[in-house]
Amino acid sequence: MTIEEVSGETPPSTPPSSTPPPSSSTANAAPLGSSVIPIVNKLQDIFAQLGSQSSIALPQVAVVGSQSSGKSSVLEALVGRDFLPRGNDICTRRPLVLQLVQTKSRSNGGSDDEWGEFLHLPPDTRFYDFSEIRREIEAETNRLAGENKGVADKQIRLKISSPNVLDITLVDLPGITKVPVGDQPTDIEARIRTMILSYIKSATCLILAVTPANTDLANSDALQIASIVDPDGHRTIGVITKLDIMDRGTDARKLLLGNVVPLRLGYVGVVNRCQEDILLNRTVKEALVAEEKFFRSRPVYHGLTDRLGIPQLAKKLNQILVQHIKVLLPDLKSRISNALVATAKEHQSYGEITESRAGQGALLLNFLSKYCEAYSSLLDGKSEEMSTSELSGGARIHYIFQSIFVKSLEEVDPCEDLTDDDIRTAIQNATGPRSALFVPDVPFEVLVRRQISRLLDPSLQCARFIFDELIKISHRCMMNELQRFPVLRKRMDEVIGDFLREGLEPSEAMIGDIIDMEMDYINTSHPNFIGGTKAVEVAMQQVKSSRIPHPVARPKDTVEPDRTSSSASQVKPRTFLGRQANGIVTDQGVVSADAEKAAPAANANDTRWGIPSIFRGGDTRAVTKDSLLNKPFSEAVEDMSHNLSMIYLKEPPAVLRPSETHSEQEAVEIQITKLLLKSYYDIVRKNIEDSVPKAIMHFLVNHTKRELHNVFIKKLYRENLFEEMLQEPDEIAVKRKRTQETLHVLQQAYRTLDELPLEADSVSAGMSKHQELLTSSKYSTSSSYSASPSTTRRSRRGGDQHQNGYGF
C-alpha cells in the first residue's frame, strides 16, 4: 500500500492485476484538506518573512524524538523520496519546516513532476533532483550551525510539490541527544529540549512523538517531553518505528492499542528502512512494499490495520491536521485582525519622513497645536482618554484645593500652640510699667497676626502642589508621535517647565501679599467678628461654668470674710474694663501681692522711716515701733541705726514668669482673648481659603492654558530649529521599517484568510468525498493487510471506535 494508492493514483511499479484503476468518482474527488492546509501553508510562508518576530502561532505538526529514533525515515516515507541528510550521528541540526503540497497528476490534467523549493532561495528556484535538495539542506545547515555537529534554531523552509503526497505540514526538530559531540556545547540536551518546547508549547501545534519499538515506551524521550505541554495527550500522535527489529517473541500490539501510554489521538506503527537498505539504494517505494509484506505476515497485527503503515500515518496526519486547522481558524483570524490593528496604530505613531522646510514647519505646528489642545482638554475635563479608575487632570486640582488645602486649614485650632500662660504673659507685657485699667488690645493683635502668618506656608505649599500637577499633565499630553522626535520632546518639556515656573512666581507673590494684607489691617469691625461686649459675656459664662466649688482651708492670716466679699464686689463691676496689679514668679522666689495688701492699710501714715512697705511685713514694723518708744532716746537711735543698716534689695531675676495660679479676673481676660482670636482667625481663614485658589488659578493654571500656544510659537517655531528638533534617532527608523514590514505581512495574511469563507462548504464536501474514497477503494483501510473478511469487519469496527476527539 503506497501514498499513490491512498490518493487514488495507480503506481507504475505495481502490476495491473493488483492495482485496479480508480473509478471516475474517486478520480474527480477533491484532495482531503485541499482548502485549508494550502491556506495555512501560505500563511506560514507569509509569516516566515518576519522570522522570530512573528507572534502569531499557526497550526502545524512538530516531529519530536530522540536521536536515531527514525524521524527522518518517517518523513522520507511520507514524501516517497530520499532527500534528508542521513548518518549515524545527529542529522537534523536545524528545524526543517516541510510543506507537502499535492499537485494534479497527469491523468487529472497535471504533471507527474515532483520538485522542491526553498524559501531562502529565489522563488523560481526548483530542485527536481532530490539529492540536490539534500545537499542544499546540508549546506544551509552548515552555514549557520557549522560543519562539526553544531545546532542552530533558525528554520529551513522546504516545500515539496508532488502528486504522490497528501497536504501535510510538518516541522522536523533536532533529535534529543545526551552526550555532546563535535562543536556541540556541554548543555546540548538542555538547548535542544528548550528548542523543542518553544514549538510544542503552543496549543496550535500537534505533536508527532516518534519512539523506536526496541525501547521502553514508558521511558520514551518524545512522550516525556510531549507530556510536559500536553499532559492529557489531547494533541499528541504516537509513532512506533522499527517494528521489524523487536526481539523475537515480542510485539507492539499493546503499545499500538494505547494500553501502556494512552493517547487520545492514538498510535501508528511503521517499519523504517535500515542502514543496509540505504546503502543498497533501496527506494522508499520498495520499502513501503516490504512494510506491507511485514504486516501481512504478522497475524498479531491483524485487526489493527488503521494503526499500521506509512499510508495510514499520512492519512491520519492529514485528517487530524485538517480538523485541527478548522477548529483554530476563527481564533486565528481574530488574532491576525487584532495584530493588524495594533501594528497599524504603531506604524502610524512613527509617522512619515518629511524633509522639506515647509513640510517640517507644518508638522511642527501640528504637534504644538495638538499638544495645547490636549493640555486644555485635560484641565477642563474634556479629554477623550478620560480615566474611569482614578482622578486626573483638572479634577486633581480641585481635589487639592478642597480636600487638601481647605480641609487642612479648617482642622487647625488657632489656639493649639498658645497656653493660658502665654496669653497672660502677653497681656501683662502689653501693660508696660503700669497696671492697666482695661484689657489691652495689643496682645490680641500680636497673637492674631502670629496665627495669620501660619497660613502662609500651607498656601505656598498648595501652589507648589498645583505646579507639580500641571507638570504631570504636561507629560501626559505628549502624543505617541513625539516619541520619534526626542529633541523636540525635550525642548517642549523645557519650555513648558520654564513657563509654569514663571506662572508660579506671581502666584506665590500674590499669596504673600494676601497674607500681608490680612496681617497689616486687623478689621475688628467685620460683621462676623464677635466683638468685645459679646466676648465678655461669653467669657464670663464659660468661667463661671468651669468653676467647681470645693472647701478651702483658711490660712492664719486670712482676710475677714466681710472684707473679702467687699473686695470681690469691687472687682466684678469692672471685669473687662479694669484690672489689679498681679504677683509675679521669679527664679529666686515669689513676691506675693496678696501678702502685702494689709501692710499699706495699716501703715499708710507711717512714712517716717522712708522704707517702702513692700520690703517688710506690717507685723515687723509694729514690733520695731513699740520697742523704740519704750527705750531711752539714745538707745532708740542706736537701735534704729543698726536696723537701717540691715536692709538690702534683692537683684531682679534674669527670667520672670507669671505665677502658676491666676485670679478669676485673669481667667476672664484669657478667655476673652481666646474668643477674639478664634473669631477673627475664622474670618481670615475663610478669606484665605477663597483667595489663594483664585490667585493660583489666575496666575498659574488659566494663564498657562491661555498663553501656552503663543509661548510655544515664540520659543520653538523657528525655521533654523526645524531640522534639529525634527531629527529622528536611528532606532525610530528601524522600528518604522519593521512595523511597515509586519503590517505588510499581516495584510497579506488577512487577505489570504478572506479566501477561506468562499471554500468553506467545499472543505466539508471534500472531506466527505475523500472518506468515501478511502473506504471504497481497494487500497483503503478495510482491505489493507487483511487475511479474511472477518479481519476486514474487525478493522472497520476498530476504525469506528477510533473516530472520536477530532471526529474521524
Domain CATH for 258: 3.40.50.300
224: in domain? yes
pLDDT at 412: 78
d(Cα 255, Cα 90) in Å, to the nearest integer?
27
More confident residue, 733 or 373: 373
Question: The CATH number of the domain where 429 resides is what?
Answer: 1.20.120.1240
Q: What are residue 101's phi and psi, to 5 degrees? A: -120, 120
> Last residue of a domain, which of 308, 337, 366?
337
> Last residue of a domain, which of 675, 692, 707?
707
The mean-pLDDT minimum among 211-225, 461-475, 540-554 falls in: 540-554
Angle at 230 between CA 227 and CA 231, to 5 degrees: 60
Q: How many domains does the chain have?
A: 2
Q: What is the pLDDT of residues 670-705, one digit of tens each?
A: 777 778 888 888 899 899 999 999 999 999 999 988
d(Cα 475, Cα 789) in Å, to the nearest integer?
82
Q: Are residues 189 and 76 in the same domain?
A: yes
N- to C-terminal Cα separation, the chain = 21
pLDDT band per the 50, 70, 90 thresholds, residue 780: very low
pLDDT at 597: 41
Q: Is residue 158 a contact partner of residue 137, using CB atoms and an 8 Å limit?
A: yes
Residue tagged 510562508 (cell numbers): 45
pLDDT at 78: 87
pLDDT at 263: 92
807: in domain? no
192: in domain? yes
**Listed residue (524, 417, 523, 405) closest to 456, CA to CA:** 405
d(Cα 313, Cα 269) in Å, to the nearest integer?
8
Q: Are residues 323 and 228 in the same domain?
A: yes
pLDDT of residue 423 exceeding 60, the answer is yes
Q: Are residues 120 and 187 in the same domain?
A: yes
* Beta pairing class for 236-241 and 205-212: parallel
CA-to-CA separations, 757 to 86, 468, 766, 767, in angstroms, rounded = 42, 56, 15, 16
Q: Is residue 163 a contact partner of residue 112, using CB atoms and an 8 Å limit?
A: yes
pLDDT band per the 50, 70, 90 thresholds, residue 584: very low
Helix (H) or strand (E) holding 97: strand 96-102
Q: How many CB atoms lie within 10 A of CB 297?
A: 10
Question: If 0-12 CB within 10 Å is exposed, 13-18 middle and 19+ buried, where does residue 804 land?
Answer: exposed
Q: Are residues 76 and 194 in the same domain?
A: yes
pLDDT of residue 762 exceeding 90, the answer is no
pLDDT of residue 7 exceeding 70, the answer is no
pLDDT at 428: 66
pLDDT of residue 515 exceeding 70, the answer is yes
More confident residue, 231 or 612: 231
193: in domain? yes
pLDDT of residue 587 exceeding 60, the answer is no
31: in domain? no
Q: What is the pTM of this model?
A: 0.53
Q: Are residues 317 and 424 in the same domain?
A: no
Q: List all residues 6 or more positions away from 494 whose beta carbon is below 8 Å from its beta carbon.
A: none
pLDDT band per the 50, 70, 90 thresholds, residue 228: very high
Q: Looking at mean pLDDT, say which of 110-119, 576-585, 647-656 comes out highest.
A: 110-119
The x, y and z cell numbers of residue 544, run together, are 463661671
Q: Are residues 116 and 240 in the same domain?
A: yes
pLDDT of residue 550 exceeding 50, the answer is no
> Last residue of a domain, which of 707, 734, 765?
707
Angle at 401 between CA 400 and CA 406, to 5 degrees: 115
714: in domain? no
Mean pLDDT of 224-251: 90
Q: Are residues 310 and 416 in the same domain?
A: no
124: alpha, beta or left? (left if phi > 0; alpha if psi -120 to 50): alpha
d(Cα 175, Cα 91) in Å, to the nearest integer?
8
pLDDT of residue 630 exceeding 70, the answer is no
Q: Are residues 268 and 401 in the same domain?
A: no
The mean-pLDDT minimum among 45-54, 323-332, 333-342 falls in: 45-54
Question: If 0-12 CB within 10 Å is exposed, 13-18 middle and 19+ buried, where does residue 565 land?
Answer: exposed
Q: Are residues 409 and 321 in the same domain?
A: no
Range of the domain at 538: 391-478+493-544+663-707
Residues in the chain: 808
The x, y and z cell numbers of residue 331, run together, are 481564533
Q: Is residue 628 a contact partner of residue 636, using CB atoms and an 8 Å limit?
A: yes
**Listed residue (8, 648, 55, 634) closest to 311, CA to CA:** 8
Q: Are residues 85 and 147 in the same domain?
A: yes
56: in domain? no
Q: Are residues 203 and 291 in the same domain?
A: yes
Mean pLDDT of 326-347: 87
pLDDT band per the 50, 70, 90 thresholds, residue 358: confident
721: in domain? no
Mean pLDDT of 612-634: 48
Mean pLDDT of 344-364: 79
